[in-house]
Amino acid sequence: MSESPSEIVLLRAALAAAEARAAAAEQELTRTRAVISASEDMIRHLRLEIAKLRREQFGVSSERRARLIEQLEMQLEDLETDIAADRVKPGVEAPRSLVGAFERRRPGRKPFPEHLPRERVVIEAPNACTCCGSGRIVKMGEDITETLEVVPRQWKVIQSVREKFTCRDCEKISQPPAPFHPTPRGWAGPNLLATILFEKFGQHLPLNRQAERFAKEGVEISLSTLADQVGTCAEALATIHALIRTHVLAAKRLHADDTTVPLLAKGGATTARLWTYVRDDRPFGGGAPPAALYYFSTDRRKEHPTKHLAGWTGILQADAYGGYNDLYRADHKPAPVLSALCWSHARRKFFELADIKATARKGKKVAEEISPVALEAVKRFDAIFEVERGINGLDAQARRNARHDLVRPLVEDLHDWLKAERSRMSKHNPVAKAINYMFEETGRWEAFTRFLDDGRICLTNNAAERALRGAALGRKAWLFAGSARGGERAAFMYSLIVTAKMNNVDPQAWLADVLAKLPGTTPSRLPGLLPWNWKTK
C-alpha cells in the first residue's frame, strides 16, 4: 500500500527531527568529552603546583603560600567532583588525553593497604559453557576485583565470669578477684573510654553529639553518664599527666604561646585563655622526646605564666607579650628566664602590609596601599628563613657555626636597613610601627638575635603555634567551654593527646592501653606508659 504525499512529508520531517536530535546529542557528547579531558589536564597541573608549593612550605610558614595551597586544593576538589559526575552520565566515555606524540594514560589507583583483612565473596560459577551449553567445563583461573568497604562500629558487652568453688573439707568458698576497671565503679571498657575522650578532646566532638550518635547505633548513654566517665578518666590519668609536666619543665628551652577560648558565663560568653608550653629539641638534634603542657585561665593576666613556670629557668621562646616580663626580671628565682623572640611574629607585621591579594580583596588600590619598604623587608626576612631551613635538624654547635657565617651578616644588614628606613618615616606610619615592634623596648633586639649565639634556639615560635592549632580549630565545633573546670579539664587532656601526636603515637590507641594497664601498674613502671616509651602489642 503506497503512502500518500502528506504521509511522506510527515515521515521526512520526523526523520529530519531525529537526525537533528542525534546531531545535537553527538555535539553535546563531544563537548562533555572535551570538558573532561581539559579537566583532567587541569587536575594534573594543579597537583603538580600543590606538590611544589608544599615542598616550599616546609621549614618556614608562609601565609601567602598556605592560602594559595588552600585555594588550589579547593579548586582541585571541585574539578575532581565535576569530572566524576560527568563520567557517570549516560553515553559519556572517559576520554584519554593526547599530549604530544604519545597517548597519556590515566594513573592507576593505589592498591589498598596490605594490613586490611580480605573477605572473599565468590560469585556463583556457571554450570555449563555459556557458548555451546556443554557441561564439561573446568576451572582455569580467577579474576579478583577489590572493593574497599567499612564495617559499622560494633558494640558488645563483655561478661567477666568468676566461678565459685567450695571446699569439701573446710567448706570455704574460693573465687578469683574481680577484674580492675579503668575507673572506680566503672561500667565502660578502656576502648570505649578512649573513644569518648579522643572524640571530645582530639576530634572536638561534644558529648551531646556523641550521645546522639550512640543512640542512633542502638546504645543509649545519657549525657550525664558520659560526663561522669570523662571526669573519672581525667582523675585516673593524673599520674601520667604529672610525668609529662615534669618532663616538659625539665627542658632548658621552652616554646610558649596562648590563644583565646570562649567561656560560657551569665548573659553570654567571656574570653578565657588556653596556654601551652612546648618542649621540642628536635630542631637541634636533641634526644629528649617532644611534649606539650597546657593550662587554662579565665583571663590573660601576667600572673598566669608566672605561676605556670614557677621555679623554672631557661630560655623562653615566645612573642613580645608583656605577661612574660616578670619571668625575665633579675630577681626571678632561681634565675632570670632569657627571652628569645619569634621572627615569624615580626615578619607577619610586614607581610600584612605587603599582602597584595588581601589588599585587593578589601577593595583598596594595590599601587597606593602596598609599601615597597614592607615588600623589601619581607624579602630580607625570607632570606634569613631560607638559610634556617637548611640547618634545621643539625646539632646545636653546627647550627651556631652556620648562623655565624651565613645568618649574622643578613641580620646585621637588616638591622641597619630598618633603622635607616625608620628615620625617614613618621611615627604614625604603619611600616614604622612594624619596625618599632623589633626595637621599641630596651633589650628587644637582643631577644630577637639571641638565636645567633645559641644553636638550641629556634628562629620562630612555630612549635607553640602548631600545638595550639587543634584548639583553634576545635572552637568552631564546641563553641565555648562550659565552665572554668571544664576548660582546665580540656587543657589536661590536650597535654596527653598532643604529646602523643608529637611522638607519632595514635592517641586513641595509647589512651585505651594506658587506661587498661593503669590499675595494675606500680609507680616505678609508670614511665613505661608515657607516649615516647609506649609500644604497641
Which helix (H) or strand (E) covers residue 270, if one does? Answer: strand 268-279
Candidates 486, 510, 503, 489; CA nearest to 193 is 510
Q: Are 464 and 263 in contact (CB under 8 A)?
A: no
Q: Are 184 and 174 in contact (CB under 8 A)?
A: no
Q: Say if 48 falls within a structural domain.
A: yes
Give residues with Cβ within 8 angstroms of 114, minimum separation 6.
none
Instruction: Say which residue the cell 559453557 belongs to.
Output: 129
Q: How confident is the model at residue 525 (pLDDT cuts 50, 70, 90)?
A: very high
Query: Is the peptide bond between 334 and the residue preceding it cis, with omega within 30 degrees of 0?
Result: yes
Arithmetic mean of pLDDT, 382-405: 94
Arithmetic mean of pLDDT, 244-269: 88
Please check the confidence at residue 377 and state whether its pLDDT lies above 80: yes
Task: Give pLDDT tens digits for 87-138.
Answer: 555 555 544 443 344 444 555 567 888 888 898 988 888 888 888 888 888 8
Q: What are the CA-CA distances from residue 343 to residues 27, 36, 61 (Å)? A: 58, 46, 11
Q: Say if 33 falls within a structural domain.
A: yes
Arithmetic mean of pLDDT, 523-534: 94
Q: Say if 211 falls within a structural domain.
A: no
Task: Work out how many domains the chain is built from and give that number.
Answer: 1
Measure the CA–CA gap between 51 and 46, rounded to whole angstroms. 8
Exposed e or buried b per residue across 334-357, where buried means at least 16 C-beta atoms within 10 angstroms of its C-beta: eeebbbbbbbbbbbbbbbebbbee
Q: How confident is the model at residue 82 (pLDDT cuts 50, 70, 90)?
A: low
Predicted local distance difference test score (pLDDT) of residue 537 = 58
Indicate the pairing of strand 165-166 with strand 173-174.
antiparallel
Predicted local distance difference test score (pLDDT) of residue 63 = 52
Please check the confidence at residue 28 and state whether its pLDDT lies above 70: yes
- 295 forms beta bridges with 275
Please check the confidence at residue 354 and state whether its pLDDT lies above 90: no
DSSP 280: -
Task: Give pLDDT tens digits for 498-520.
Answer: 999 999 999 999 999 999 999 88
Q: Say if 73 falls within a structural domain.
A: yes
Of residues 58 and 264, more confidently modeled = 264
How many other C-beta atoms lie within 10 A of the C-beta of residue 502?
21
Share of the chain residues as helix, strand and coil, in percent rounded to the nearest 5: 55, 10, 40
Predicted local distance difference test score (pLDDT) of residue 58 = 47
Host domain of residue 36: 17-98
Q: Angle formed by the axes of helices 190-201 and 223-236, to 10°? A: 100
Q: Say if 217 falls within a structural domain.
A: no
Picking from 55-59, 277-281, 315-319, 462-466, which range would have the lowest pLDDT averaged per residue?
55-59
Q: Say if 69 falls within a structural domain.
A: yes
Picking from 48-57, 142-151, 349-358, which range would have the lowest pLDDT averaged per residue?
48-57
Please check the confidence at residue 60 and state whether its pLDDT lies above 50: no
Please check the confidence at residue 233 and state whether its pLDDT lies above 70: yes
What residue spans of 150-189 are helical by DSSP H? Answer: none
> What percent of the chain has a predicted confidence (pLDDT) above 90?
44
Please check the confidence at residue 49 and state whether its pLDDT lies above 90: no
Q: What are the CA-CA distances from residue 360 to residues 75, 159, 347, 352 (Å)? A: 20, 65, 20, 12
Please check the confidence at residue 367 and state whether its pLDDT lies above 50: no
Predicted local distance difference test score (pLDDT) of residue 182 = 82
Q: Say if 223 falls within a structural domain.
A: no
pLDDT, the chain, mean: 83
Rg (C-alpha) for the chain, rounded Å, is 33
Q: How confident is the model at residue 280 (pLDDT cuts 50, 70, 90)?
A: very high
Q: Say if 219 falls within a structural domain.
A: no
> What percent of the chain has a predicted confidence (pLDDT) above 70?
79
